[in-house]
Chain A
Amino acid sequence: MNIAARENFDKVVKLAIRSTGLIVIVLLGGIFFMLLYNAFAFFLKVSPMDFITGTQWTPSGKLASYGILPLLVSTTLVTIGAMVLAIPLGIGTAAFISEYAGKRLKNILKPAIEMLAAVPSVAIGFLGIVIVGPFLAHLIGQPNGLNALNGAILLSVMALPTIITVTEDALRGVPNSYKEASYGVGANKWQTLIKVTIPAAAPGILAAVMLGIGRTIGETMTVLMATGNAQAFPHGFLGSVRTITATIAIETGEVPYQTTHYFALFAIATVLFIMTLAVNIVGEYFVNRFRKYHSA
């Protein structure tokens, strides 16, 4: 190739790379625009106030009602439940790996946890139906265990790999000198972990939790399979719930094009999008702060 041809080739490659980057941005913008556009169409027919405060989601029939509250409460319930389980377990596991486990155990645990992240959500949902659900049903004496608690348990399993990996990074990033200072005044390993290492890693741990929450809010297949999807307003962890994601998955297939119901699904999708976006931004913020803090 002569020089001119080489330079032209270089230009083409540059253009190709730049346009792939552009495509991603355009896609993201497009999705957001489509959501907003359709949500807007929905709010022309139903007032935002009714949407936000309505306690019933019954989108079909003459007396259709589009209250997002039952869905929002369902999503929140399952997410909080999952976090209550996953946060202590995740931080505990991460602390064990970074501070206590020997080299060999570490070499087994870390890939195992990464593998857990690779299990498809439909497989986890299946476990919820055939194992966790019946177990819960037996425990609480109900005909089936397809409820919020079931969903929370499964989602906690799915959030664990993220929480463990990011928390472990954060703990490992705590300067050794802090630990030495703590041992130097006579602290033992446990005291050092609880009072020095974990507080110093707090921003990173918070980021881990945020990323875990993001994963949980958006998860669809597992909750669809495991939580029963009752349309009634949620009654707590032992009752069936229907999350925003499950609602969209169930109803999108059958809804007539460009009806109020159709637009309503976009409206709740927008709410979901904003929720995950907010969680991710907060998480990202803490990840960055954590990096700065440790490079200083």
Chain B
Amino acid sequence: MTNDLIKLSAQSVNLWFGSKHVLKNINIEFQQNKVTALIGPSGCGKSTLLRSFNRMHDLLPDVRIEGKLMLEQQDIYEKNTSVTQLRRRVGMVFQKANPFPKSIYENINYGLKINDVPKEERDGIVEKALRESYIWEEVKDELQKPATRLSGGQQQRLCIARTVALRPEVILMDEPCSALDPLSTLKIEELIIKLKKDYTIIIVTHNMQQAQRVADKTVFMYLGEVIEMGNTDDIFNNPKNELTGNYVKGRFG
């Protein structure tokens, strides 16, 4: 029953912001229908790596990327790759919940319009996405309310719903719970575990417990390099590298 398909991979990836070498020779693979946690001290390049998989760096002027990033058989940075198509397949949930200053409904509907989903299907998709993100019961009577009036946890689940609505294959999450209270955090973790049967999920987290609760695989990064990756259990209980051990035991960070 194990599905070992490699969904996403990086081969000898180097990245510079101006003259600053931020990602150093990254070689990594992410398996389909697994949750992989990216951990490591602040500034080690977790967000940068995550964002290179949906080409968010395209928006910045001074970025140089070398090496190969692949979504299954497709080269992410190849000339003919449509970046808008790519972002539909590789969705992203950001560190700070960032709903549009529009209604709850419109927050999800926006992506549907952008991607030419026929009008008559949209209501159904919006509802389904909200249900899948476990926020439907809380907002079903006020879909026209501004999304900015929701609580932080609800906003983040709405942002997940916005991503899920487009049926991406991969969901990238950059510290999705860092601004949330423990209860909202637990809700989102449950959601992540449920989403994994349909999606490949990569989650950056600073929370070691969270990584152990949600992730099948864990990748430890340090100063722009991948130091160790493997099953979450092994990384936390049997690290091969001394740095990894020190980090997961909270000796630095």
Interface residues of A (CB under 8 A from B): 103, 175, 177-188, 191, 195-196, 199-200
Pairwise interchain contact A186-B94, C-beta atoms closer than 8 A = no
Interface of A is mostly: helix
Please indicate the chain A residues that have their CB under 8 angstroms from the CB of B98 in the complex.
175, 177-178, 180-181
The 7 A-B pairs of least Cβ separation, nearest first, read: A185-B111, A177-B98, A186-B88, A186-B84, A184-B92, A186-B87, A187-B114
Stretch at the interface among B53-61, B70-78, B185-193, B231-239: B53-61
Pairwise interchain contact A184-B163, C-beta atoms closer than 8 A = yes
* Assembled-state Cα–Cα distance A188/B114 (Å): 9
Pairwise interchain contact B59-A184, C-beta atoms closer than 8 A = no
- Work out how many contacts link A and B, with CB atoms closer than 8 A: 65
Please indicate the chain B residues that have their CB under 8 angstroms from the CB of A182 in the complex.
100, 110, 114
Please indicate the chain B residues that have their CB under 8 angstroms from the CB of A195 in the complex.
110, 114
Pairwise interchain contact A185-B91, C-beta atoms closer than 8 A = yes
Please indicate the chain B residues that have their CB under 8 angstroms from the CB of A196 in the complex.
100, 110
Given known A-B contacts A186-B84, A196-B100, A180 and B56 have beta carbons under 8 A apart:
yes
B226 at interface by CB-CB < 8 Å = no
Pairwise interchain contact A186-B159, C-beta atoms closer than 8 A = no
Please indicate the chain B residues that have their CB under 8 angstroms from the CB of A181 in the complex.
94, 98-100, 159, 162
Please indicate the chain B residues that have their CB under 8 angstroms from the CB of A177 in the complex.
94, 96, 98
B19 at interface by CB-CB < 8 Å = no
Pairwise interchain contact B59-A183, C-beta atoms closer than 8 A = yes
* Assembled-state Cα–Cα distance A103/B60 (Å): 12
B85 at interface by CB-CB < 8 Å = yes
Query: What sequence of 0s and 1s flags, for each residue 96-139 of chain B, a beta carbon within 8 Å of any chain A beta carbon?
Result: 10111110000000110011000000000000000000000000
Interface-centre pick from B56, B84, B166 (highest chain A CB count, 10 A): B84
